Chain A
Amino acid sequence: MMPIWTKSGKKHAVTLLKVQDCHVLRYISKEESGGKTSKLLVGGKNASPFFKSESAMEIFKEAGVPRKQKVTTFNVTDDAIIKPGTPLYAAHFRPGQFVDVTAKTFVFLEVFQGLGKFFVSVRDTGESHRVLICILLYKAAKVYRGKKMPGKMGNIYRTSFGLKVWRINTKHDIIYVNGSVPGHTNCLVKVKDSRLPTYKDCNKNPPFPTYFADGDEKLPEDLYDEEIFQFTDPSVTYA
């Protein structure tokens, strides 16, 4: 996480996400998957090919790509299909865009968490105040879905929505995303265009279907949002 300053002098905290060896692995058509849209399997971050069975390695062999640590699905419209084996870069996103980031949450202690959060007191009250007495009140005659129960905390997929992309480094494939992101440092993360209704029309002229490195477009090393203070400018003044 890093600080970033706007031209008006405000400070924002920013998370750095690195796009490490992402490739499209397979195209699954609408009928095959049984959903509403067709899907694209994308893999990220190369890993060693020796610890998986032959059947698991088939997808990577077909695409002609080393084994990937993480494989995710993206729902895609039919006009945005990409050929399996194409690499994906950070320049797929542009500054000013809004993005959702999904990851497995951070685990502080890999230990069964009791009801320490339920009854909070100033003094150490001992076991009598940390025991589950009843799981529901009133005459519901059932347990609500999502009822908070004791168990292990963390390591579940969570998403943070509507994060602004401030800056993109095309040389090292880094995306600067506003705010914090679920997960520990150096964990694998899925970045998608935001599905929030306020940011539906945010992205104008995105690289469609994706940014191709061997294409005609030559991007500068750093792409900044309009409001960011770039360190090449002189200090901010309020005239």
Chain B
Amino acid sequence: RVSSDGKPEKFQPPPKPVIIDKQKQRAERRFLSPEFIPPRGRTDPLKFYIERKDMIQRRKVFNIPEFYVGHVLAVTTADPYANEKASRFVGICIQRGGKGLGATFVLRNVIEDQGVEICYELYNPRIQAIEVLKLEKRLDDNLMYLRDALPEYSTFDVNMKPMSHLDHEEVPVNKLQVRMKPKPWSKRWERPKYNIKGIKFDLPENKMKEAQKWSQPWLEFDMLREYDTSKIEDKIWKEVSEGLKN
């Protein structure tokens, strides 16, 4: 080859390939369990620090997996009155409540046409094991409307096998729209205060418009209700990850 100058072109080596390790990129995703974040109040932060030490200590001995509302879990608890001194319950997590050591989660299942909900404490020493059987997030944070939904949406096989899931992948979101039993419901789920996106409302248009009367559009602009947890979360995440490493 001859360049425009007339001299032979110097050999240009091809550019080195840049290898982007996708596994390492995805592993940066971090999850802080919601019960670590302290509620807004006048309590001394020392109390939350001491509670967190106890929680980290318990997590070192007993593995509490990462789970969200909508996951299907199997919990084995020590029961003095059961046959093998241990009872196992499988259900979908419909609510995670409480902060600190008293954090709870509610599992729901329909067994022999009877809906059963059990509220477990995360840090109760009687819990022997928590296994995640199915990983999927739902559109809402609170699935209490499953009580008024058709029972097929709350039934899960008690002998379900755990689903495989890779650590670095994102938790999939199930955009399922649930069909409800006829009204009356336990709560008026169509009202905007519950902000439910996971129900397929078959109500007529005028009912949906009437429900919008109870909307409070000023709530999202209320500055006194703002609770920015990003900095608190960062500090707590560092503390928890260092505590769990040791």
Contacts and interface: CB of A to CB of B under 8 A. Distances in A.
Interface of A: 2-3, 5, 9, 11, 16, 18, 169, 172, 174, 185-186, 229, 231-239
5 contacts: A2-B47, A2-B100, A16-B50, A185-B42, A236-B126
B125 A235 contact: yes
Interface in B121-146: 121, 123-128
B102 interface: yes
B50 A3 contact: no
B46 A5 contact: no
Contact of A235 (B57, B102, B127): B127
Chain B CB within 10 A, most for which of A5, A172, A231, A238: A231
B58 interface: yes
A146 to B, nearest CB: 33
B85 A18 contact: no
A2 B101 contact: yes
A9 B85 contact: no
B44 interface: yes
Contacts of A5: 124-126
Given A169-B50, A185-B42, A231-B54, A238 B61 contact: no
B196 interface: no
A180 to B, nearest CB: 15
B100 A236 contact: no
A236 B101 contact: no
A233 B123 CA distance: 13
Contacts of B42: 185-186
A238 B80 contact: yes
B78 interface: yes
B43 interface: yes
A236 B126 CA distance: 5
A50 B125 CA distance: 50
B234 interface: no
B185 interface: no
A185 B43 CA distance: 7
Contacts of A238: 78-80, 85
B100 A233 contact: no
A186 to B, nearest CB: 6
A236 B50 contact: no
Contacts of B57: 231-232
A230 B241 CA distance: 21
A87 B86 CA distance: 50
B194 interface: no
Contacts of A2: 47, 51, 100-102
B201 interface: no
Interface string B92-128: 0000000011100000000000000000010111111
